[in-house]
Chains A and B, each alone.
Chain A
Amino acid sequence: MTALDDEVRVIDAGRPPARFARGWHCLGLADAFKDGRPHEIEAFGTRLVVFQGRDDGALHVLNAYCPHMGGNLAQGTVKGDAVACPFHDWRWAGDGRCAGVPYARRVPPRARTRAWTALERNRQLFVWNDPEGNPPPPGVTIPELPGIHGPGAAEWSDWTWKTLRVEGSHCREIVDNVVDMAHFYYVHYAFPEYFKNVFDGHVATQYMESSPRGDMELGTLSAGRLRSDASYHGPSYMIDHLHSDVGGGLEMEIVLINCHYPIDENSFLLQYGAIVKRLPGMTDEQAADAARLTAEGATVGFEQDVEIWRNKTRIDNPLLTEEDGPVYQLRRWYEQFYVDAADVKDEMTRRFEFEVDTRRANEAWHAEVAENLARRAAGPAEAS
């Protein structure tokens, strides 16, 4: 008995890191913050306020709590280019400077709150998080999407955007998906026929070619063969360029964003959205519909991801097969965002490539789907 017990694999759950990842984090669609009111964001273990300056038109991100007496600026109002605290009307400018205290003879000399470095791009708002307080290094940025900023942007639909709050899980769970070939069959209902990862610097890419399972429905994403070329640009913002075979020799071009920001060390806000390039003959409305259907198809997958995370344990020592993809190497890459910049090791950032042999897995899965379809054809009562 003891001999057997010695061989039992013991899960090391580890602990979520005490700090939040260094990098750009998308807070949502920029337009959502442009209604003239301050908005509260629960992120990085604290609360932030996002507001648009009335005169400069720019989006600003500050700590939500007023350094005066701790009032919540997100409950306040925008006055000029400043946000005013609901407690005593202290005014805070977008750069963090106190812009005035209406009842006081003078503003305290060191009246400054934390202004977060913000970036508006792809019609989204980003903030830079760095526990060391440094600005983003050159080369570490959010790429501009040609479908938004390029000369052909008029051919693309607007964003369909969705959010999902995930409690009780560290955001490493969703980043793990980058290398998790097999979960695309079980959780996202596709046959991943080609699967390759490349990591280098602050970018991690997943190349995948898949076809729909046939026994499941996922809207646009299950229409036909799918080519997906998806990269995390830093710890939390993934751009997925999708080409979906819609029949008749036509491919629909889709950009799917999959991003998140940490709420605290054990919960995060997952956000995702899609834009679609109009096919020849497609109206704006049809393109918007296609984007909506894509996002809704993704919703099914993400909700199932969340259901798995809600019930699983954190695991630092996963037990892997050759078909599982490079989980440890991905986590080594991800680690670079959780250490001081000076402690980033070459091994975390050097190029690493891993192409999974998907043949055996797909043989097994095709047999399973054929069985499911046969059972379903035999009678609805037996469907499982």
Chain B
Amino acid sequence: MRPVECAACGNQVLCEKFSPAHTSVQWTAEAAVSCAEFRDRAGGGGGTTARLRTCRALRSSIDRAVADGTLEVDDVRTDA
């Protein structure tokens, strides 16, 4: 897994992509506290973010990391 930093709030997560459609994200801090978007949507106070499908800002940061090559996609790597 490779670290990816969210451009919106600076929170860092670990990512892995087996293919362009696959994404695995391991958060390394409490999501409801460390992520600005989740903080708002989960209504603050910690708690679970498991009912929130994705953080849009983080998702764009991951897409950008793939586009600029800092996050490699397995398929691309093995096909190359």
User: Using a CB–CB distance below 8 Å, which chain A residues touch chain B?
Assistant: 139, 196, 198-205, 207, 231, 322, 326, 350-359
Q: Which residue of B lies closest to A198 (CB)?
A: B50
Contacts of A139 in B (CB 8 A): 46-48
Contact partner of A322 among B22, B26, B48, CB < 8 A?
B22
30 of the cross-chain contacts (CB-CB < 8 Å) are A139-B47, A139-B48, A196-B53, A198-B51, A198-B52, A198-B53, A199-B50, A200-B31, A200-B48, A200-B49, A201-B47, A201-B48, A203-B50, A205-B50, A231-B51, A322-B18, A322-B19, A322-B22, A350-B28, A350-B30, A350-B31, A351-B27, A351-B31, A352-B24, A354-B23, A354-B25, A355-B21, A355-B23, A356-B22, A357-B21
A180 CB to nearest chain B CB (Å):
16
Contact partner of B26 among A352, A357, A359, CB < 8 A?
A352
Q: Which residue of A lies closest to B16 (CB)?
A: A354
Chain A interface mostly: strand
Contact A201:B53 (CB < 8 A) given known A351-B27, A355-B21: no
Q: A203 near B22 (CB under 8 angstroms)?
A: no
Q: B27 near A350 (CB under 8 angstroms)?
A: yes
User: Using a CB–CB distance below 8 Å, which chain B residues touch chain A?
Assistant: 18-32, 46-54, 74
Query: Looking at A139, A203, A355, which has the most chain B CB atoms within 10 Å of its CB?
Result: A355
Q: How far is the CA of A359 from the CA of B32 in the complex (A)?
A: 31
A203 CB to nearest chain B CB (Å):
4
Contact partner of B21 among A199, A200, A359, CB < 8 A?
A359
Q: How far is the CA of A30 from the CA of B49 in the complex (A)?
A: 30
Chain B interface mostly: loop
List 20 extra interface pairs beyond A198-B52, A205-B53, CB under 8 A: A139-B46, A198-B50, A200-B27, A200-B31, A200-B32, A200-B48, A200-B50, A201-B49, A202-B48, A203-B48, A205-B50, A207-B53, A326-B24, A351-B27, A352-B25, A353-B27, A353-B54, A354-B25, A356-B22, A357-B22
Q: How far is the CA of A201 from the CA of B32 in the complex (A)?
A: 10
Q: B50 near A355 (CB under 8 angstroms)?
A: no
Q: How far is the CA of A314 from the CA of B73 in the complex (A)?
A: 33
Q: How far is the CA of A356 from the CA of B21 in the complex (A)?
A: 7
Contacts of B28 in A (CB 8 A): 350
A243 CB to nearest chain B CB (Å):
15
Q: How far is the CA of A198 from the CA of B27 in the complex (A)?
A: 11
Q: B22 near A352 (CB under 8 angstroms)?
A: no
Contact partner of B51 among A205, A354, A357, A358, CB < 8 A?
A205
Contact A351:B50 (CB < 8 A) given known A322-B22, A326-B24, A357-B21: yes
Q: B51 near A203 (CB under 8 angstroms)?
A: yes
Q: How far is the CA of A203 from the CA of B52 in the complex (A)?
A: 11
Q: Which residue of A lies closest to B30 (CB)?
A: A350
Contacts of A199 in B (CB 8 A): 50
Q: Which residue of A lies closest to B46 (CB)?
A: A139
Contacts of A353 in B (CB 8 A): 23-25, 27, 54
For the complex of A and B, list the 4 residue pairs with the smallest distance between their C-beta atoms, beginning with the closest.
Answer: A201-B48, A203-B50, A351-B31, A357-B21
Contacts of A196 in B (CB 8 A): 53
Contacts of A201 in B (CB 8 A): 47-50
Q: B30 near A357 (CB under 8 angstroms)?
A: no
Q: B22 near A355 (CB under 8 angstroms)?
A: yes
Q: A204 near B50 (CB under 8 angstroms)?
A: yes
Q: Which residue of B lies closest to A203 (CB)?
A: B50
Q: How far is the CA of A326 from the CA of B18 in the complex (A)?
A: 13
Q: How far is the CA of A157 from the CA of B19 in the complex (A)?
A: 43
Q: How far is the CA of A200 from the CA of B22 in the complex (A)?
A: 19
Q: How far is the CA of A204 from the CA of B32 in the complex (A)?
A: 15
Q: A357 near B48 (CB under 8 angstroms)?
A: no
Contacts of A350 in B (CB 8 A): 26-31
Contacts of B22 in A (CB 8 A): 322, 355-357
B62 CB to nearest chain A CB (Å):
10
Q: Which residue of B lies closest to A347 (CB)?
A: B26
Q: How far is the CA of A322 from the CA of B22 in the complex (A)?
A: 9
Contacts of A203 in B (CB 8 A): 48, 50-51
Query: Looking at A205, A353, A356, A358, which has the most chain B CB atoms within 10 Å of its CB?
Result: A353
Contacts of B27 in A (CB 8 A): 200, 350-353
Q: How far is the CA of A231 from the CA of B18 in the complex (A)?
A: 25
A158 CB to nearest chain B CB (Å):
26
Contacts of A198 in B (CB 8 A): 49-53
